[in-house]
Copies of this chain bind each other. A is one copy, B any other.
Amino acid sequence: MPVATLLPLTDVTACCAPITREPLGAHDAETLAKTLKALADPARLRLVSMVAAHDGQEACVCDLIEPLGLSQPTVSHHLKVLVDAGILSRDKRGVWAYYAIIPGALDALAAALTTP
């Protein structure tokens, strides 16, 4: 597998200055919108929240299906969206993949939305 596919498709940690500080350029607006769109779903917000609250701040799909009440394929799809957006990391160990929050990703979003 080429290394590039292991990197998030968008890197919000390299973007953006607070949006209320100066007019946001078209490119930064695209990057920020993509990351926000990945988060802008109730199931995905709950997944991020459950991963963060889990022991060791990482969780496998097996830990997330029951509390969320969705099927494994649906949960796996949502997790993939969050990985592609650079919000979660994915580490395959044995039969399961373990997900953790990428340090700085949510804080970068928060910083972009914070007003002066």
Contact = CB atoms under 8 A, between A and B. Distances in A.
A36 B33 CA distance: 9
A46 interface: yes
Interface of A: 19-24, 26, 29-30, 32-33, 36-37, 39-46, 48-50, 52-53, 67, 101, 106-107, 109-111, 113-115
A75 B109 CA distance: 24
Given A107-B115, A113-B106, A113-B109, A40 B36 contact: yes
A33 B23 contact: no
A23 to B, nearest CB: 5
Contact of A48 (B20, B30, B114): B20
